[in-house]
Amino acid sequence: MPETEAPSRPARRLAGRVAVVTGAAGGIGRAIAARLAAEGAAVVVADIDGARAQATAAALGPAAIGARTDIADEASVAALAAVVEARFGRCEILVNNAAVTDACGFGDLTFAHYRRVTAINQDGAIRVTLAMLPLIRKGEAAGRRILNIASIQGVRGARDSLAYGTAKGAIVNFTRALACDLADEGILVNALAPGFIDTPMAALPDGSHEHDAAWFRTIYVAHGRIPLRRGGSPEDIAGPAFFLCSDDARYVTGQVLLADGGLSATF
């Protein structure tokens, strides 16, 4: 009687590559880090919450490490780069995901508030990229990727999100400009712009969740402002993120992929 073949494992398409994901202790960042790790990458889980970064790395397996990182702080980002260099000596994939949420209209905005938001959501991604680029240049030539997590608010207007939307809009054009600058080196740069995603950042000021709000369930779900009639999950973003970090995207650079359930197609 012939032996039964063992079920084949999914291909680990990022085996041998090193990925750094900021804001990776929870939400979208954690889902992306988990997907990259499942595909074989050694993942550096960078997050301002050092304890959660370590716990997330432990959950991802022995190839992952956690690193407390404040992307708004030059010394902290330099320390992250030093950790990656000491442990791996290179980096193939950088995912600039860390951000803070913000809901402030222009009438209530102060310049100090604006700068606090943009120092993280805009400057932070640039600061991390500058620090990590020397290590990316040492990475496997065919696998070098920079992925920036933008937002639908970076390509569409919305009330009470001036600082957040402006910073994410800057990330969109940072992606395009950097893709042009690094194309000759074969380093591909793209962005993902999520829509409504079910993460802790989607909490409303009163502690409730926007996906549970009557306005969301009525306008976006029942009336189909989101054609897929649901909010997204972090795993809905992890799949497109993996694609843009994989060899399947070898001819894709300078692009912004909206992962929003069709929301941007309706206005």
Query: Which residues form the catalytic set?
Result: 164
Contacts of 7 (CB under 8 A, 6+ apart): none
Residue 95 near residue 22 (C-beta atoms within 8 A) = yes
Residue 53 near residue 27 (C-beta atoms within 8 A) = no
Phi, psi dihedral angles at 94 (to 5 degrees):
-120, 125
- Paired sense of beta strands 65-68 and 42-47, if any: parallel
- SS3 label, residue 14: coil
Burial 73-87 (b: 16+ CB within 10 A, else e): eeebbebbbebbeee
- Residue linked to tokens 């009687």: 1
Q: What DSSP designation does 224 have?
A: -
